[in-house]
Amino acid sequence: MSVIPVITLDGPGGAGKGTVSRAIAAHLGWHYLDSGAIYRALAIAVEDAGLDEQDTDAISVLAQHLDLDFALEGDHPVILLSGRDVSGRIGVEQTGNQASRLAALPAIRRALLERQKAFRRAPGLVADGRDMGTVVFPDAGCKIFLTASAEVRGERRYKQLKAKGLDVNLADLTMEIEARDARDRNRAEAPLKPADDAVLLDSSWLSIEDVIQQVLSLARDRLLLS
Ligand code: DC
């Protein structure tokens, strides 16, 4: 078993996992895995290839050969799919919903598993997703399940998308987020759920800074970090 430490942050969309995970990884000088971005990039690749979402065999092959790169332009993270910058398309709700539908298919999850495990590199990894603590890194020393009420998550996502200049409606967004969570929670393979040894944290009424401090303090305790 690898001794490279891992902190997993799982939970539904809009709970603040991305912001918190990035901040923790930057603070510790560790690697960061945005597993949702991998499923989202696959959704874009499927759309661009004109594949039918039901064509699991072709999509699994595409998933295995996905040419995906996470890079930085200055401080700004960019996602390159076959060398093309798809960062703008990654964040939109439609891509998230397509990703959630593809993510329910066991063959596709299997095709993406090793790619996610390969992010575990020294000195450590902060992994953000739905099944990081249950399936991808079951031996992680520090597992967090971050939640927030659907209303709060809807509002956060609304502000994020508005800030990007996208035209969104709060009520529609909250409904879409709930529908996506229901799909992610109820699928048979690697459903969204806390690992048995995860710590549950509700971020509804906490500032992002408070969540970061609580996660860091848990990580220090569990992983014996200085
Ligand atoms: O975290 P996100 O919103 O970028 O994820 C998009 C979708 O991808 C999510 O609704 C379900 C799927 N996903 C998954 O099934 N497993 C993960 N570890 C990460 C994301």
pLDDT in tens, the chain (226 residues): 458 999 999 999 889 999 999 999 999 999 999 999 999 999 999 999 999 999 999 999 999 999 999 988 887 889 999 999 999 999 888 999 999 999 999 999 999 999 999 999 999 999 999 999 999 999 999 999 999 999 999 998 899 889 988 888 999 989 999 999 999 999 999 999 999 999 999 999 999 999 999 999 999 999 978 6
Among candidates 200, 28, 185, 1, which has minimal Cα distance to 100?
185
Of all protein residues, whose CA lies closest to atom 2 belonging to ligand 1? 36
Among the listed residues 129, 152, 149, 141, the one whose alpha carbon sits nearest the alpha carbon of residue 199: 141
Is pTM beyond 0.85? Reply is yes
Separation of 189 CA from ligand 1 center, angstroms?
13
Angle at 41 between CA 7 and CA 116, to 5 degrees: 30
Closest ligand 1 atom to 116 CA: 18
What is the Å distance from ligand 1's center to 14 Cα? 11
Ligand 1 residue neighbourhood (C-beta within 6 Å): 13, 35-36, 39-40, 96, 99-100, 103, 129-131, 180, 184
| Cross-strand pairs, 173 | none
